[in-house]
Copies of this chain bind each other. A is one copy, B any other.
Amino acid sequence: MDKGKVFKYIEEHFEEHLKRLQELVRQPSISAEGLGIKECATLVRDYFRALGCKDARLVETSGNPVVYGFYDAGEDKTLIVYMMYDTQPVDEPGWIVPPLEGRVVEMEPFGKCLVARGAINTKGELGAFINACESIIASGEEIPLNLIFVAEGEEELGSRHLPEFINKYLDKLKEADAVFFPTADQDEKGKVQMALGVKGIVYFELELDGKSWGYGPTEFAIHGSNKAWVDSPALRMIQALSTLTTKDGNTVLVEGFYDNVAPPSQEDLELIEKLAKTFDEETVKKEMRVERFINDVHGKEALLKYLYSPTLNIDGIWSGYTGPGTKTVLPHKITAKVDVRLVPNMTVEEVIPKIRRHLDKHGFKEIKIVQLEEGYGWAKTSIREPAAQAVLKTYREFGYEPEIWPHMAGSAPFCMFNREPLNLPFVMGGIGHGARAHAPNEYIVVGEGGPTGGLTTLEKSYVAILDNMAKML
């Protein structure tokens, strides 16, 4: 492939390429609320068709459709391109622009940024990858390996129906040599980070209502003065929740919670040693607006904590009157949203039974556990895999020595590809930057000239990754 030709084409088509990203973020696709799913899936399918996929379709599942596309390059090698077209909700206060308008804002020190829900997680990259493929073809070159596009619409709901799709398309997917997830992996200062896996996740609600408990108000919040003789589901739930962790909220007290936690592998320990040398703690904290880590840990210790601790987190909690001023009620119900993150070798299946046993043992049989997602396991790909080496080689070609992370603390459905029945290496990558996923003012840098790559660089890096994959897989 004459990459120079393709890169020139990409440089000359920045404005049109940006428009695709704007089109994507302007089409809501909030899976938690069922908003715009079908419309966004259709948009993505049309991109696959326009690219020249012979087969491009919405594959129905029990949940949101998976957008499938097969690009037949007539090559021996086949790469699955995993993508997601759904996003988080946009309910947070604090957005500086409407979150679904696709506005481009000048942001120091990056230059032009697209500020929108999905900008970095991950409509920006989806659009950029399509732009990259289209640019290869438009500049007269050929996509160097067959591509199986798998764009799911329930990543933010835990990819609960992706296994249905995988089973349905197993024969086709088995022909692939690796899986690639287009991302944008530079930090605020432009350092490239390469993550080789993810933690797993289980997400559930803990709920207590007077009706099922048999104590407390059963149907509605009653006058607060009745607390003198009527039980409070809220106060009771707080007691239950308080047994889950130590007083600092940081060590989980659920029996057996840490039993299956494996120590870091030799390969991981070597990666961590190297990582600790370049890990830019201050930038990470600044991005999150966090002043201190737990127990004021730093450097390697912080990294080990971040990557090898399973966690129990309260994503949300609510009960009773939450408006302005005072309203004196005894609420009949309280709900907490909880996620548990899994590290090797914890399993998805062990979590809920352990929480249940814990609550029962402490006398909280009345508290219900409502699992909201199937959950997914942790996933790891060795740096020695050719797919990982192809991404690494690309970064070096662009002049970056990446910071390699043995895995991320976040979760993604990679295990569905790199465990049974597919057992494929799963890698992600791309030279670009964005942040504030799941938070207000999510952005992706689109302009060039700042400390990070913009949209043009990101697309070029995808082209080079495809080229290296074709050579190395």
Contacts and interface: CB of A to CB of B under 8 A. Distances in A.
Given A224-B315, A337-B321, A218 B291 contact: yes
Nearest to A285: B230
A226 interface: yes
A445 interface: no
A291 B328 contact: no
Interface in A221-238: 221-232, 234-236, 238
A329 interface: yes
Given A238-B238, A341-B225, A440-B220, A290 B230 contact: yes
* Most B C-beta atoms less than 10 A away, residue of A313, A330, A339, A409: A313
Contact of A290 (B210, B373, B408): B210
A373 B327 CA distance: 11
Interface centre among A89, A224, A335, A408, by most B CB within 10 Å?
A224
Contacts of A311: 225, 227-228
B225 A325 contact: no
A250 interface: yes
Contacts of A22: none
A247 interface: yes
A228 B325 contact: no
Contact of A331 (B199, B249, B315): B315
Interface stretch (A49-57, A292-300, A390-398, A452-460): A292-300
B314 A316 contact: no
A163 interface: no
A390 to B, nearest CB: 26
In this complex, the member of A234, A312, A410 whose beta carbon has the largest number of chain B beta carbons within 10 angstroms is: A234
A228 B309 contact: yes
A219 interface: yes
A329 B438 contact: yes
Given A32-B323, A316-B322, A325-B157, A232 B249 contact: yes
A430 interface: no
A229 B305 contact: yes
B314 A328 contact: no
Contacts of A326: 32, 156-158, 203, 315, 337, 339, 372-373
The 5 closest A-B pairs by CB, nearest first: A235-B249, A32-B325, A242-B242, A316-B320, A227-B313
20 contacts: A32-B327, A33-B323, A158-B326, A215-B292, A215-B294, A220-B439, A221-B439, A224-B438, A225-B409, A227-B341, A229-B302, A229-B309, A231-B294, A238-B242, A239-B242, A313-B328, A315-B320, A315-B331, A316-B327, A327-B438
Interface of A: 31-33, 88-89, 91-92, 94, 156-158, 199, 201, 203, 210, 214-232, 234-236, 238-239, 241-242, 245, 247-250, 288-294, 297, 302, 305-307, 309, 311-331, 334-335, 337, 339, 341, 363, 372-373, 408-411, 437-440
